[in-house]
Amino acid sequence: MNVNGVFILLITFIFVLFTSVEAQDNYLISYSTDPSFELVKSNDGIHLYERWIVLDNNTPARELRVNCTSDKTTLSKALGQLRKSEDLLEWNKGAKKATNLHKSAESWIAHIIYDIPWPFSDQDCVLEYNIDEYTETSIVVSFFNISSNHFPEDEDITRMPYVVGKWVFSHSSKGVNIEFYITTQPSGLLPRWVSDPIVRNNLISTIKSYNEILEKNSAK
């Protein structure tokens, strides 16, 4: 990797590390305002939206939504792709190891380790996924960080303190609509003109990769 590539990775993971909000007892966040999403970037049929909201503790936060549409898959296959361990590493950009541990038909745990360039330590997160809705027209899967005896903390790896979001798969006139949501609270350590393009590009690349793998596997 060249010097510019290393610099971009460093900036990306510094942003991820310091934009996580503090862990709360209840992962479900209630918003005191509900403004509309604004389109901020589009690329290859993938659209990224964001909105600024106010959390229950009166702190501002940014919620991101990424969506695309596939006419080459089904709702059940989209969900199945999300649960597959063998492809997690391929579409999770920046990850060096990724594992799914299935708890039940409706719930599973994902452990992801991110490869961070020196001098920073690698990061990981343990996420519990739950299928909140499963109908003929839509599937909703929420995720949030947890502690797990299956994936204890490593002193050489920094555990991400807070992660929350959801995936939504739904029927549309063009096929299956894929949506990804995540909320972060920027720390202000980096100016937005530096962090925004990197975060937006990474999210679009991740969803693009997920959709490409999904369509490839759906064609088999």
Take residue 197 and report the two structure tokens written for it.
């393009």
What pLDDT does 61 receive? Answer: 75
When pLDDT is cut at 50, 70 and 90, the band that residue 163 belongs to is: confident
More confident residue, 146 or 10: 146
Number of domains in the chain: 1
Phi, psi angle pair for 194, to nearest 5°: -90, -50
CA atoms of 130 and 209, how far apart (whole Å): 22
**Residue 155 clears pLDDT 80, i.e. is over it:** yes
Taking only the tens place, the pLDDT of each residue in 87-131 is 999 998 878 999 999 888 899 999 999 887 777 788 888 999 999
Query: Which amino acid belongs to residue 208?
Result: K
What's the average model confidence in pLDDT over 71-94?
A: 92
What pLDDT does 161 receive? Answer: 72
DSSP secondary structure letters along 62-106: EEEEEEEEESS--HHHHHHHHH-HHHHHHHSTTEEEEEEEE-SSS
**Pseudo-torsion of CA 62, 63, 67, 73, nearest 10°?**
140
What pLDDT does 13 receive? Answer: 41
- Residue 77 and residue 62 in contact, taking contact as beta carbons nearer than 8 Å: no
Phi, psi angle pair for 112, to nearest 5°: -125, 130
92 is in which domain, residue-wise?
3-218
Residue 213's CATH number = 3.30.530.20
pTM of the full predicted structure?
0.79
Do you know the residue count of the chain? 220
